[in-house]
Amino acid sequence: MSQRPQFWLRVGLFLLGTAFLLQIILAALSVSIFVEGPMIGGLVWGKVTLVDLYLGFIISLLFLWMLEPRKLLVLLFVPLFLVMGNWLLCWYLAWRWPHLFRN
């Protein structure tokens, strides 16, 4: 992959992650997750959404495991990713992208 598209891909991933993190912060400032979280879990489609979310986390982590040459980094990242979410995955990919596809 040439350097220019790779650079813009990494910038895009970082910006997407940052935008999502800001959305999380704004949501946390307006209402507690402990107030609305149980409501989401109480809805049928809320449960489907949560299963879909964590299935996506697991699939993403499996891909990282296969692509990342530094397995310890993935092991350290797993608990953070499961708690922090996709904004952290975007930042991780922006940071590690050149190293993931060297083969």
pLDDT tens for 12-28 read 999 999 999 999 999 99
Q: Which domain holds residue 72?
A: 3-100
Reduced to 3 states (helix: H, G, I; strand: E, B; else coil), residue 100 is helix
pLDDT tens-place string over residues 35-56: 998 999 999 999 999 999 999 9
- Angle between the 33-42 and 44-67 helix axes, to the nearest 10 degrees? 100
Reduced to 3 states (helix: H, G, I; strand: E, B; else coil), residue 69 is coil
What mean pLDDT do residues 56-65 have? 91
DSSP state, residue 101: T
Tally of domains within the chain: 1
Torsion angle of C-alpha atoms 90, 96, 99, 103, degrees rounded to 10: -20
Which residue in this structure is represented by tokens 């650079």?
Answer: 7
Per cent of the chain over pLDDT 70 is 97
Torsion angle of C-alpha atoms 12, 15, 20, 26, degrees rounded to 10: -160
More confident residue, 100 or 17: 17
